[in-house]
Amino acid sequence: MTIRVLIVEDSVIFQTVLKNIFNASPDIEVAGIARDGLEALALIPQLDPDVICTDFHMPKMDGLEFTKQVMLHYPRPILVISVSVQTDQRHRIFELLEAGAVDIFPKPRGSADPKSQINHLRLINKIKILAGVKVFRKRTPQASLKSDFLPNTQQQTPGKNTSEIKIIAIGTSTGGPQALQTIFASLPANFSVPIVCVQHISHGFLDGLIQWLSLTSGLPIEIALSGITPQPGKIYFPPEKKHLELNSQGQFVCSDSPPLGGHRPAVDVTFKSVARIYASNAIAVLLTGMGKDGAAGMQMIRQAGGLTIAQDRETSIIFGMPKEAIELGAVQHILPLPEITPFIIKKSTSI
């Protein structure tokens, strides 16, 4: 079935670039093009697009207000396609995710060089992924602190962990920024366990993500540096385009080793090092995302005696990474997003 896309972009040049990219795929049809949010809102009822691609900065109605109006009146997947903005404003693009957009992608170039062509294919694949997204509700289930345990046949080790928790490792992809905001905003300012988080994100947007998450997080968020030991109560992300591991001394190692499964940073790389160094003193969490990155690493953490958690299907924008870990038998607890932070706090403080 053909995926109908509405392009919302004020630049005629980028309108043409996007149209040419999408027309190259037999699975995608450009249903229409709008120059701003107001024009797009008028087109949605008659075009009924499956996916909307919008810019952030536009005249008359910008991407943020447009996203709010779409989610209110015509909820459907929105992909923000934009350049990374000025340093002090980079966090603003993530406000569109907070308003209901699903993901962010950098504006592609129209050139035919190999690097651009790879980026074009990534954009086409992103559209195909978003066309299958079904979770757009702003409501979230009420937290009850009741864990959804797997059947006994899938339990490899007892679910109870009595070791002191010394690190929390989180992996996520599509839908991750929204999920991380929920988790970090719920952590108390005196939370004393270091957190290492691997988020698949397009190049140029990591600084903006950290700025945006820091607005609601009670804990400081930093980019990890090689040689640094994770500090209590701090949240760390790997640098862009680098894997993040921990060595035998418990220090960060940021590396340029080849991508794993197409990802650098890869969740599996971080999770596997956490399993080796921290074993039963670790909690691993897999959140919403496409693919299987993190499943094998989570299995290693569970086999080492660590505690493993996966976000449930209902609250995941894309139930891919958690599903892969569950099917591998790597997950002890399947939880709705609002229950993950209270569960982590409970397990981190009850020794």
Question: Distance of CA 258 to CAs 188, 264, 265, 281, 338, Å?
Answer: 37, 7, 10, 28, 35
Q: Is 293 a catalytic residue?
A: yes
> 36, 62, 84, 200: which one is catalytic?
200
Nearest by Cα to 124 from 2, 230, 302: 2
Q: Is 173 a catalytic residue?
A: yes
Mention every residue, 6+ apart, whose C-beta is less than 8 A from residue 8.
Answer: 33, 34, 35, 36, 37, 39, 40, 52, 53, 54, 55, 58, 63, 66
Q: What is the dihedral of CA 182, 188, 190, 193, to 10 degrees?
A: -40
Tokens of 288: 């919403």
R_g of the chain computed on alpha carbons? 20
> 36, 293, 316, 348: which one is catalytic?
293
Nearest by Cα to 136 from 81, 223, 77, 80: 77
Q: Is 200 a catalytic residue?
A: yes
> 173, 217, 280, 316: which one is catalytic?
173
Mention every residue, 6+ apart, whose C-beta is less than 8 A from residue 146.
Answer: 339
For the annotated catalytic residues, the residue numbers are: 173, 200, 293
